[in-house]
Structure 1
Amino acid sequence: MRKVGIIGGTGPEATVDYYQSIIAEYQNRIGSKEDLPELVINSINMYKIFNLLEEDEKSELVDYLVEAIQSLERAGVDFAVLSANTAHIVFEEVEKRVSIPLISMIQAASAKAKELGLQKVGLIGTGFTMASDFYENAFSKNNQEIIVPSKEDQDYIHRKIVDELEQGIVKEETKSRFLKIIRKMVAEQKAEGIILGCTELPLMIKESDLDVPALNTTAIHVNRILDAVLGAGESIDD
């Protein structure tokens, strides 16, 4: 069994969800409640990441994440993951500078969309995620198109993620507005599915709320992590 390292704190609510989901999925796969996976969490500062992105200090962000992953490596993990969509903005740069394998949430989401036969997929997440091209670049390799909401809707989504969801606050009026934005993307932009591109979004939006598939990036990533932990499928790097 391989030991996984998690870069957490980005945000804290999602880190808890990752921890609990990895344990639950591990026990489900092995068919026993009397065993646990081995993992190490390095909880870093989400607000430092946001500040570095706002100041366009991506090289400093890469340094920050590389240092955090190297700390996990010294703790003896076999591979590591970033438990946040936004941090994947610099995933490729970070991956080049660390010695242990990393499992990309974005690549896993693209593979899931391909499995579901989705070609045109809507993306909601932080403003940084929606304004960047890292999702678009990954999905284009599978001939998939990424679409995002209007700038006004992006600003609203980002503000509510930072001010509410990252604090563990779920408001019904916020959920209602998010669902309205998603339905507009489906009706007007012909989105065939929606990526919940912030790991706090599943705290509020469930697949049953939508008429199209919802790609829960936390759940998708956790499944890929467990494949690696248990040595299922291909190598960690694939």
Structure 2
Amino acid sequence: MKQVNRAKLGIITGSGPEAGVDMWQKILAANKHMMQEGFQGDLDAPNVSIISEPQLGLSMELEKNDAIVWQNLARVAQQLATQVDYYAIACNTLNYYQPQLEALGLSAKLVSFGDVLKHKILTEGLTKVALLGSDSVTNLGTWSPYRQLKDVVQVEVPKADSGLHQLIYDVKTYGGAKTDIVARFTKLVDELEADVVLLACTELPLIPIQTHKQLMDVTELVAEEMVALSLA
């Protein structure tokens, strides 16, 4: 009976599929945290539907694959919207399509990575952040879902020869716990000037690094917003 009035949530994943699992886990954790003593078990978990589409993995080279990526994203969004009230895409890069998705007029509302992150930055009064993600994300150009961030905060991006884009590919292939991957990412983060580092790729939070910097997982922020909406 407790689920009757809760909004239903959806996750689109596939770029990569582990990112959808990660978002789901973070939704479950946020749900327990927000409900506190009100959480009594399975019946208090959110209703979550997930669609994993492998073709969305082409988003790593979005400029080259725009047509096929959008075709698949629009299809799964339309399918998922019949089952949920709110949905998120477990991929920072794919949030580039927010305007196109909203133009579809779906009954379900997209919880945008860009909107959630901008609200967090403004709420906390941050003045400088480092943005880590795929090349299309960090160049803050036409294809970046975070291109508007530079209007509200100073944004540091990794050096062109940082190897971050390849590192993301390696996490997809080998997992984040591989010793070499952890060492490479730790070095990259430690060389940044900003104290707040935005993990704007769903593979990056999967790398267990130790650092004195504040790592802000955008997926976690979106998961918290999804739960808040489901409980509203």
TM-score normalised by the chain length of structure 1 = 0.82
State the shift of 1:12 in Å. Answer: 1.5
Please give the per-residue CA displacement for 1:118-166, whole angstroms capped at 9, x wherever unaligned: 211111112222234335433245x21222111111xx11112112345
Runs of 4+ in 1 over 4 A off after TM superposition: none
The answer to whether the aligner puts 1:226 opposite 2:231 as a matched pair is no
The answer to whether the aligner puts 1:27 opposite 2:42 as a matched pair is no
Task: Identify the residue that residue 114 of structure 1 maps to in structure 2.
Answer: 122
State the shift of 1:9 in Å. Answer: 1.8
Contact 1:5–1:77 (Cα < 8 Å) also in 2: yes
Runs of 5+ in structure 2 lacking a partner?
1-5
**Aligned-pair Cα RMSD in Å:** 2.1
State the shift of 1:73 in Å. Answer: 1.6
Task: Identify the residue that residue 129 of structure 1 maps to in structure 2.
Answer: 137
Contact 2:137–2:146 (Cα < 8 Å) also in 1: no
Which of residues 36, 40, 47 is equivalent to 2:57? Answer: 47
Aligned residues: 219
Task: Identify the residue that residue 144 of structure 1 maps to in structure 2.
Answer: 153
State the shift of 1:198 in Å. Answer: 0.9
The answer to whether the aligner puts 1:162 opposite 2:169 as a matched pair is yes
Give aligned-pair identity as a percent: 26
Which of residues 73, 95, 105 is equivalent to 2:102? Answer: 95
Task: Identify the residue that residue 235 of structure 1 maps to in structure 2.
Answer: none
Measured in 1, the distance between the counterparts of 2:129 and 2:78 equals 34
TM-score normalised by the chain length of structure 2 = 0.84
The answer to whether the aligner puts 1:6 opposite 2:11 as a matched pair is yes
Please give the per-residue CA displacement for 1:209-235, whole angstroms capped at 9, x wherever unaligned: 23232111111110011111111xxxx
Please give the per-residue CA displacement for 1:158-179, whole angstroms capped at 9, x wherever unaligned: 1121123455342223222222
Contact 1:4–1:229 (Cα < 8 Å) also in 2: yes
Which of residues 179, 187, 211 is equivalent to 1:180? Answer: 187
Measured in 2, the distance between the counterparts of 1:84 and 1:4 equals 16
Task: Identify the residue that residue 37 of structure 1 maps to in structure 2.
Answer: 46
Residue identity opposite 1:83 in structure 2: A
- Matched residue SS, 2:197: strand
State the shift of 1:115 in Å. Answer: 3.0
Please give the per-residue CA displacement for 1:4-53, whole angstroms capped at 9, x wherever unaligned: 111012212111111222123223322222322111101112433335x1
Contact 1:193–1:215 (Cα < 8 Å) also in 2: yes
- Matched residue SS, 1:41: strand
Measured in 1, the distance between the counterparts of 2:15 and 2:110 equals 17
Residue identity opposite 1:203 in structure 2: L
